[in-house]
Chain A
C-alpha cells in the first residue's frame, strides 16, 4: 500500500528509486573518503563512484546511469575539494561514450569481460578530462596551481589496476541493487 495516497504509485516508485540511488552514492562516497587513507597504493585509491557510474552505463535498457554519472561526479568534486565539474563533466562524457558504444556497436549485452576492456580507455578519458577541465580553471585565473598530468599518470597504472580489481565486486553490488529495486520496490508499489 502506498504510504502517501495523494502521490501516484508510479511517482512514488520514482522518488523511492532515486532516493535509493542517492543513498547508494552517498554510501560509496563515504566509503571512498573514509577508507582512502588506509587503502593507498602508490598514492592511488580505488574510485567506487567512478566504477558504479561506468557499470550502470553499460545497461542499454536503463537511462538511470545519468543520475549516477551526475551525482557521483558532483560528490567527487565536493569531496576532493575541486571545482564543480572537474570530475562530473568527464564522468558524464565517459558514460555518454559507453552508452553510445553499447547502443550503436554492440548487439549483445556488455559482459564483465568487455567492461574490463572498456575500463581502460574510460579511465584514461576520465583523467585527461579532469586535467583539461582543471587547466581551463587555471587559465581563467581561478585555480592557484596548474593540474599536473605527469603526477597523475605516474601512478595511473596503480589506479587502473586497483579499479580493475574492484570491478567485479562492484558489478555484483550493482547487480544486487538492481535486483532489490526490481524485486522489492517495483513489487511493493505495483508499477511497470
Chain B
C-alpha cells in the first residue's frame, strides 16, 4: 500500500493541517485566548519547580563565591566612597542645571513610561534566545520597545500579542541597539554575543574608551528611549589596526534569572 493511503500518513497530515491552521490564526492575531491557556497552564508546576530549585542554586552559588566575598566587599567599599564624592559634584551640577532650565524656560518631560511585566518563560528550550512576558498590546507594549530589569536593558520586544509578548534577550547574537558612552557621548552599537554577554562595536578609533565607563542607549531608534543603561565597558577587544573600536559590555543583570521586568514605552 502506498504511504499516502496509510493511517500513519493520515494522522500526520491531520496534525500538520491543525498546526498550520493555528499558525495562520496566530499571524492573523486570533490566537490570543489559546496562547493564554497554553502559557498559563504549566504555571503551577513552574512555580513549584522554581521554588525548589532557587534555594538549592542559592546555597551552592554562595559556597562557590565565599572566597570572593571578602575581596569584593573591600572593592565595593572603595567604590562607594568614590561614588559618594562624585555624587556631591553631581548634586551641585543638578542644582545649576535646574536653575538654568528655569531661566531658559525649558519644560521637564518624563522620558518614558514603564509597563511592569512578569517573565512567564525564559529561553526554556535553549534555542530561541527569547523570553515570554505576561503583558502585551493591551498594556501598551509594542514591537521594538526595550525591556529593563534592575535599571539595565535586558532585551527588546519582537512580538506583541494582546496579553502576552515575546522579547529577544540582549545577549542574543540577533540583538542590536544604538548606544553611546555616557562620559563622552560617542555613538556606537551594542550587540549580543551568542548568549555570553554584550559587545560594544562601531566606536570610532578617535573616541576614547575606558574600562568602567557607562554605556547607555543613544535614542536614535524612536522605540527605545535615550539614556537607558546597557552596562559598563569591560575589556577593549579590538586592536589599533581595526576599523572600529570594540569592547565587551558588562551588565550586572543575571540574564538567566529574570522574574520581573519593565517595558520602556517612549
Contact = CB atoms under 8 A, between A and B. Distances in A.
A26 B104 CA distance: 61
A115 interface: no
B124 A45 contact: yes
Given A31-B49, A78-B38, A36 B19 contact: no
B195 A151 contact: yes
Contacts of A145: 158, 168, 174
B39 interface: yes
B23 A31 contact: no
Interface in A76-100: 76-89, 92, 96, 99-100
Given A26-B42, A84-B19, A37 B26 contact: no
A80 B167 CA distance: 10
Contacts of B158: 143-145
Given A34-B53, A40-B256, A89-B19, A80 B45 contact: no
B76 interface: no
A151 B194 contact: yes
- SS of A interface (majority): helix
B12 interface: yes
B264 to A, nearest CB: 17
Contact of B26 (A69, A83, A127, A152): A83
B125 A80 contact: yes
A167 interface: no
Contacts of A151: 129, 172-173, 194-195
Given A31-B45, A75-B38, A82-B130, A89 B16 contact: yes
Given A34-B45, A69-B15, A92-B19, A87 B195 contact: no
B8 interface: yes
Instruction: Give the residue among B16, B18, B57, B128 with the most A Cβ atoms within 10 A.
Output: B128
Interface string A140-159: 00111110100110110001
Interface of B: 7-8, 11-12, 15-16, 18-20, 22-23, 25-27, 31, 35, 38-39, 41-50, 53-54, 56-57, 120-132, 143, 158-159, 166-168, 172-174, 194-195, 256-257
25 contacts: A33-B46, A34-B48, A34-B50, A36-B123, A37-B50, A37-B122, A37-B256, A38-B56, A45-B123, A47-B125, A50-B125, A66-B12, A69-B15, A78-B132, A79-B125, A79-B132, A80-B124, A80-B132, A82-B166, A83-B27, A87-B125, A144-B158, A148-B174, A151-B172, A154-B194
Given A27-B42, A40-B126, A142-B27, 4 more contacts: A30-B48, A36-B125, A38-B53, A89-B16
